[in-house]
A and B are shown apart, each in its own frame.
Chain A
Amino acid sequence: MTLPMGRPMREIFGETVAALAADDPRIVMLDGDVGSSTRADIFEKAHPDRYLQMGIAEQNMLGVAAGMATMGLIPFISTFVSFAVVRPLDQIRVLIAQTGANVKITPGYAGLFTGQTGMSHIIVDDLAIMRAMPGMVSVAPADDVEADLALRWAASYRGPCYVRLVRDATARLFDASYRFAFGKAVVVREGRDVTLIGTGTQTPRVVEAAELLSARGVDAHVLHVPTVKPLDAEAIVAAADRTSRVITVEEHTVLGGLGGAVAEVLGELRPTQLNRIGLQDTYVQSGPNDELLDLYGLSPSRVAEQVLAILGRA
């Protein structure tokens, strides 16, 4: 089974935040000179007076956002993940996380899909970094449907949050009946043999991998974790109880992100055999999207292959 394609999350970003701002005059967009890429330009067209170009100066942009939040405004941040998380990391720590500023860190270009830009633009450890930061919560939507819902949630959430968005169109997992619940994991496929846990746009590829596994006689249970922090420990323990074998799959380093978070939960609450599929402590080179997914073991067929190897069924 191949899932249908969804719309690019970056278009959802521009449209949804613009729609939210139409109803909420407190919403502003701060752009680090990439609005034509992140599609903050859609917001700019709708609300030119609340689109604030901050130039190529991310440290200042995050600081300005913190100051604006104290004036009762709700700033959304438009830049790439690499320039939203690590470049202004200390500004996020001191001015936003430590103050509880109501700033929405909503960058695009998460994961491997960055328009063939190479390792300076492909950040492999954003979830690990943001997860470790006290006062910050992290959400990684699976598709365009969930991205829209997560952005709507972010606008209503009081406090700082990180919502990790993706540049290009990816497979659509959810239909219009889906309801995003912050802090909750969701079972997207029932199975008995092994639990596969995904986050972000890797989850649809895990679902596709599960179908390939089914043809090989492996009935995989798939859990989607859109909220990496706070983690839904209960759902993870329940899945471990069900299959007694857990494998995480993430478009991210296996150190400290989803795999690390799940290892912490299982190690403390339900010691279970756990394996982690993802980037193996490495940076990512530039290349076409599908080629990169294959190269780094994240395409559905490569995920299925690794799962079979882990299970000794290869």
Chain B
Amino acid sequence: MSALDSAPAMADAAEIERLQEAARRIRVELVRAVNHARAGHLGGPLSAADLLAALYFHVMRIRPDEPAWPDRDRFVLSKGHSSIALYAAMALRGYFPVEELLTFDAAHSRLQGHPDMTRLPGLDMSTGSLGMGISAAMGMALGARLTGRNVRAFVMLGDGECQEGEVWEAAMAAPRYRLDNLVAIIDHNKLQQYGWPGDGPDGRIPPQVPGELAGKWAAFGWRVLEVDGHDMPAIVRVLREAERGDGRPTVVIAHTVKGKGVSYMEGRYFWHTRAIKPEEFEIAMTELGETGAVEGAAR
């Protein structure tokens, strides 16, 4: 636990403020990169930003200057389409220069549309085909135990992704091995790419009914923790709680808002992936606190 101690054991007000600023920067940089690439996803990356800030800037034991450090905590972005949020978190944390984010999605870039671990040091798994990351993370948690390493495996899933059967294969298998070093975080932003028609926002309904995810994961033998995925002190508390293993894998159901931080994107399913217009980009930057930093908007 020595590396952990280098971060404040208790998240005091200053630390929370630092994490909130990291989350803001993640949002700014990811919107900038997606705007520059004229491609990529927005809604999911924005809903995941606070969780990623807490993980990469406070919770995980990592060494950005030694990305292959064997005893690092592992992170798998099972919802691989939110790659740009992960890249932004990694860049801001020091894995690579922030300017490289503008290569996102480009040919020859290390920052592929979906995470490619063979290109970018620090990525612990390639993902993109949904439902798979949790299995890989389970293998990391199990592998850590077999090799005697004090390593935790974190995996972030989308709520829509939980429609994939493999998620539940892993959910059934992990408790058998009492993998309490495995933490699944569900970015429960209540929207998927298109979803079922109904009386929800824009005529689409959420991937699950209220309480459905918690009930299912509990039934599969997981310890279920819920949190407001945009309340930084609460996120830090819940991830600290997740560290205290009780013999079960833990799932953190993080209630989030798709598109969080950009008013016109919030709760709108069609911002799952969509090109930003120049005037929209300016509004987004302003709302994210980046006044006078809108270079690239005129493209």
**B19: shortest Cβ distance to chain A, in Å?**
28
Knowing A28-B146, A68-B140, A71-B140, say if A63 contacts B126 (CB, 8 Å): no
Q: Does B142 contact A (CB under 8 A)?
A: yes
Taking CB atoms, residues of chain A closer than 8 Å to B151 are 71
A98→B116 contact, CB < 8 A: yes
Let me know if A55 and B173 touch, CB within 8 A: yes
Picked from A49, A61, A62, A72, the residue with its CB within 8 Å of the CB of B147 is A72
Quick check: A71 and B173 within 8 Å, CB to CB? Answer: no
B30 at the A interface (CB under 8 A): no
Q: Judge whether A64 and B136 touch: CB under 8 Å.
A: yes
- CB-contacts of B146-193 with A (<8 A): 146-147, 149, 151, 153, 165-166, 169-170, 172-173, 176-177
- Pick the most buried of A57, A64, A91: most chain B CB atoms within 10 A of its CB: A64
- Asked if A95 and B147 make an inter-chain contact with CB atoms under 8 angstroms apart, the answer reads no
**Does the CB pair B139–A63 fall under 8 Å?**
yes
Beta-carbon contact of A70 and B125 below 8 Å: yes
**B146, A55: Cβ atoms under 8 Å?**
no
Within 8 A of B (CB), among A43-72: 49-50, 52-55, 57, 59-72
- A59 contacts which chain B residues (CB < 8 A)? 131-132, 135, 165-166, 169
Asked if A99 is an interface residue, CB under 8 A from chain B, the answer is yes
Q: Shortest distance in angstroms between B198's beta carbon and chain A's nearest beta carbon?
A: 29
Contact A64 B142 (CB under 8 A): yes
- Which of these, B144, B165, B172, contacts A71 with CB under 8 Å? B144
Any chain B CB within 8 A of the CB of A94?
yes
Residues on B with beta carbons closer than 8 Å to the beta carbon of A183 = none
Asked whether any CB of chain A lies closer than 8 Å to the CB of B138, the reply is: yes
How far is the CB of A46 from the nearest CB of chain B, in Å?
16
A31 to chain B, nearest CB (A): 12
Pair A71/B118 contact, Cβ less than 8 Å: no
Q: Which residues of A contact B132 (CB under 8 A)?
A: 59, 63, 90-91, 94-95
CA–CA, A100 and B170, complex, Å: 22
Count residues on chain A whose CB falls below 8 Å from chain B CBs: 32
Contact status of A68 and B118, CB under 8 A, knowing A28-B146, A90-B129, A91-B132: no
Size of the B side of the interface (Cβ < 8 Å), in residues, is 38
CB–CB A60/B173 < 8 A: yes
The yes or no answer to B117 lying at the interface (CB within 8 A) is yes
Q: Which one, A54, A69, A75, contacts B173 given CB within 8 A?
A: A54
Chain A contact surface mostly: helix
User: Separation in Å of the A130 CB from the closest CB of chain B?
Assistant: 18
Contact between B139 and A100, CB atoms less than 8 A apart: no
Whether B105 sits at the interface, judged by CB under 8 Å, is no
A59 to B165 alpha-carbon distance, docked (Å): 9
User: Cβ of A73 < 8 Å from any Cβ of B?
Assistant: yes
Instruction: Kindly state the separation between the CA atoms of A290 and B131 in the bound complex, as whole angstroms.
Output: 42
256-304 of chain A: CB within 8 A of chain B? none
Q: How far is the CA of A215 from the CA of B135 in the complex (A)?
A: 56
Whether B166 contacts A64 by the Cβ 8 Å rule is no
Please, which residue of chain A has its CB at the minimum distance from the CB of B128? A94
- Chain B residues proximal to chain A, CB less than 8 Å: 70, 74, 76, 116-118, 124-129, 131-132, 134-144, 146-147, 149, 151, 153, 165-166, 169-170, 172-173, 176-177
Known: A63-B136, A95-B125, A95-B126. 17 other contacts (CB 8 A): A55-B169, A59-B166, A60-B170, A63-B134, A63-B135, A66-B125, A66-B135, A67-B141, A68-B146, A70-B74, A70-B143, A71-B143, A71-B144, A71-B149, A90-B129, A94-B126, A94-B129
